[in-house]
Structure 1
Amino acid sequence: MRYYFVILLCKTIPPLPRRGGGVNQEDFPLKRYIAGLACAATAVLGVPALASTAHAQAADPISALKSQLKSGNGVAFVDTLKIRSGKKSTILAHRKGELQFGASGVEASDHTTQLRFEEDLLAFDTEENTFGAEEDDIEKTETEKDLDRLFSGLTEPERVVRVKNKAYIWGGAFGQFLPQDKPWLVYPQDTFGLTGSLGQFVNPTEPATLKALLAHATVKRPTAYSGKITFGELHKVSPWFRVAHEAPLSKQQAKLVVNWRLFLNADRLPVRLTTSSSDFANGPTSTIDTRYSGWGSKVTIDAPPADQISTMKELNERFAADTPIPLLTVK
């Protein structure tokens, strides 16, 4: 704005009087002449000074990210998961949420995942078993009903709030079995929920993760980077990745390669990340496209009220011992 004002000021000052010209000194006082020289000098010096300021503002991506890691700061994100098999590409899930930062990085997160498929695909088909006793038929039918509810719950939005390494799950498959007055399930370990593996597992808002990505970049531009990184390398540096993949990586999984592209805004902060990977050769490729917005906004994420939280023990007690549901088993 200051440079723009200088340009306007220069345009209001008449050109220097030519020797022998008919300009009266009273009409062109010495003060205006000096002002004209000052204006010209300021305009000339303003360009490199402005460029220097812009260069200072365009910090390296890691420094820019660390400047955002303040208590109460946060960012919003939206994930879209696509599965490609052959020539067919299908959107499988959407996830949107917020991250809350602290001085050391991500302190809390709140996201909701919505799967995109028909409920009929998960319906548990039942058949009359004419060879069993009537009591066994009734018991089996009840079990199948529970499985139907479990699978159909996957078509419902699942919300996961994570605070201080504790995860609280609302809706989704678990929500089918929780009482209305205690709709939140506290999970016994940090998790992104049953749908957690369907969201972005690479988190460029973690300084260590961003540093690892940039170290593996094969394309480096001011606002665009791309490269490859393995699951094993991500597992070493990223708490977010370790939560997304709760089980330890096998040697084969550690070698899986992620192709990534990262786009930054003018402040060198992430605004888009795409990752693509496949679990085995010639298999379906999953691509996750994540958009980040609202850098520097105030974000507060709290655990649900204590009187609205159910425990895994309470959930398991709702099922008979002879009605096993593998998804509800906690190791």
Structure 2
Amino acid sequence: MKRMIASISAVTAVALVTGAPAQAHAQAAPADPVKALKSQFVPGKGVRFTDRTTMIEEGKGQPYLRRTGSFQFGRGGIVASDISSKGPGPADEVFTSSVSGRTIRIGTTSYSQGGTYRDKMPSGKSWYKGSDGMTGGVGGWFSQLVNVAEPATLASLLKGAKKSRTTYSGTTTFGKLAKVSPWFRATLPLRSSDKTVVTFKLTLDRNHLPQRLTTSFPPTGIYDSTGWEGNTISVETRFTGWGGKVSIKAPPVNKVTTKLEDRDEE
């Protein structure tokens, strides 16, 4: 009996030893970031993010725009977003006034507060309901144009990207983004060139979800101005709280308008 027990123990030990490498290999197998992203699409859940935009001119970077926001998910992906932006301040009061504000987007309907609508609101109204469905007003043009919370966009970036551990780097173009990304099309519906090249670097967290994204592109791709020639827009986005509760609602109906007043003529 003792010999039988000893034999069984020996066989079991061998099986465990020989099976260990296979098990370790299975655990070490890289997860698919696109599948990891799709696993986050649970109604009522979402992710938060921050953007920092820098304008690089003659090799020197100047703070240009900051944003904070959140995405709310449904089973198919992003169903709503809430983004607040702030310009550089007194250094450029006109620009700051035009980009500083807040945009709530539910489905394809956007509600904008501040920014270019600030001085055009009827009495008692503070939100403009737009049919264009833009994701961030004018501020969105100069912020993160690449949305890696979209599976098709993420897949497009990863295809052909250079990988180093948990970081992917490469390039894409406005044209490619326009084909795969509803976010890009809504954020930048008009642009000067679809050939504009966007350089990116994406770092994933331990759960294979986007953690940090940096992109850079020439602002002349947005608007072909001689004053912007040779400049570069650089945007850093950081994601936090994947899977946390996010609830985005439309502003109170009595504060919303679909008509603006042209006070410049007064």
On whether the aligned pair clears a TM of 0.5, the verdict is yes
Aligned to 2:17: 44
> Are 2:89 and 2:96, in contact at CA under 8 Å, matched by a contact in 1?
no
Aligned to 2:105: 162
Q: What do residues 188-210 of structure 1 show as CA deviations (whole Å, max 9, x unaligned)?
A: 31112121112100011111111
Flag the 1:176–1:279 CA change in 2: closer, same or farther, 3 A. Answer: closer
Gaps of 5+ in 2: 221-227
Deviation at 1:84, TM superposition (A): 0.6
**Counterpart pick for 1:212 among 139, 156, 166:** 156
User: Given residue 254 of structure 1, which amino acid in structure 2 is its aligned partner?
Assistant: D
Aligned to 2:49: 77
Give the distance between the partners of 1:230 and 1:190, measured in 2 at CA.
Answer: 22
Give the distance between the partners of 1:169 and 1:198, measured in 2 at CA.
Answer: 16
Deviation at 1:285, TM superposition (A): 0.6
Equivalenced residues, count? 257
Deviation at 1:54, TM superposition (A): 2.1
Deviation at 1:221, TM superposition (A): 3.1
Q: Is 1:240 the counterpart of 2:218 in the alignment? A: no
Of 173-182 and 190-199, more deviation after overlay is shown by: 173-182
> Are 1:216 and 1:229, in contact at CA under 8 Å, matched by a contact in 2?
no
**Counterpart pick for 2:244 among 297, 300, 325:** 297
Flag the 1:91–1:37 CA change in 2: closer, same or farther, 3 A. Answer: farther
SS in 1 for 2:37: helix
> Are 1:93 and 1:113, in contact at CA under 8 Å, matched by a contact in 2?
yes
Q: What do residues 114-147 of structure 1 show as CA deviations (whole Å, max 9, x unaligned)?
A: 111316x447xxxxxxxxxxxxxxxxxxxxxxxx
Gaps of 5+ in 1: 1-28, 124-150, 324-331
User: Given residue 34 of structure 2, which amino acid in structure 1 is its aligned partner?
Assistant: I
Aligned to 1:17: none
> Are 1:216 and 1:228, in contact at CA under 8 Å, matched by a contact in 2?
no
SS in 2 for 1:254: coil
Deviation at 1:73, TM superposition (A): 2.1
**Counterpart pick for 2:201 among 241, 261, 274:** 261
Superposition pairs of residues 110-121 of structure 1, within 5 angstroms: 110-118=82-90, 121=92
Q: What do residues 176-199 of structure 1 show as CA deviations (whole Å, max 9, x unaligned)?
A: 443674322212311121211121
State the TM-score, normalized to the length of structure 2. 0.84
Q: What do residues 264-312 of structure 1 show as CA deviations (whole Å, max 9, x unaligned)?
A: 112211101111111459511110000111111121111112122122x
Aligned to 2:164: 221
Deviation at 1:260, TM superposition (A): 0.6
**Counterpart pick for 1:182 among 125, 149, 153:** 125
The structure that has the greater radius of gyration is: 1
Q: Is 1:64 the counterpart of 2:8 in the alignment? A: no
Aligned to 1:328: none
Instruction: From the two aligned structures, give the one with the greater strand fraction.
Output: 2
**Counterpart pick for 2:211 among 271, 278, 281:** 271
Give the distance between the partners of 1:283 and 1:80, measured in 2 at CA.
Answer: 20
Aligned to 1:201: 145
Flag the 1:38–1:307 CA change in 2: closer, same or farther, 3 A. Answer: farther
Flag the 1:263–1:188 CA change in 2: closer, same or farther, 3 A. Answer: same
Deviation at 1:52, TM superposition (A): 4.2
Deviation at 1:88, TM superposition (A): 1.5
Of 95-104 and 74-83, more deviation after overlay is shown by: 95-104
Give the distance between the partners of 1:165 and 1:319, measured in 2 at CA.
Answer: 28
SS in 1 for 2:81: strand
> Are 1:152 and 1:173, in contact at CA under 8 Å, matched by a contact in 2?
no
Q: What do residues 95-132 of structure 1 show as CA deviations (whole Å, max 9, x unaligned)?
A: 1110111222211100100111316x447xxxxxxxxx
SS in 2 for 1:294: strand
> Are 1:92 and 1:117, in contact at CA under 8 Å, matched by a contact in 2?
no
SS in 2 for 1:242: helix
Q: Is 1:55 the counterpart of 2:2 in the alignment? A: no
Give the distance between the partners of 1:159 and 1:42, measured in 2 at CA.
Answer: 61
Give the distance between the partners of 1:77 and 1:169, measured in 2 at CA.
Answer: 19
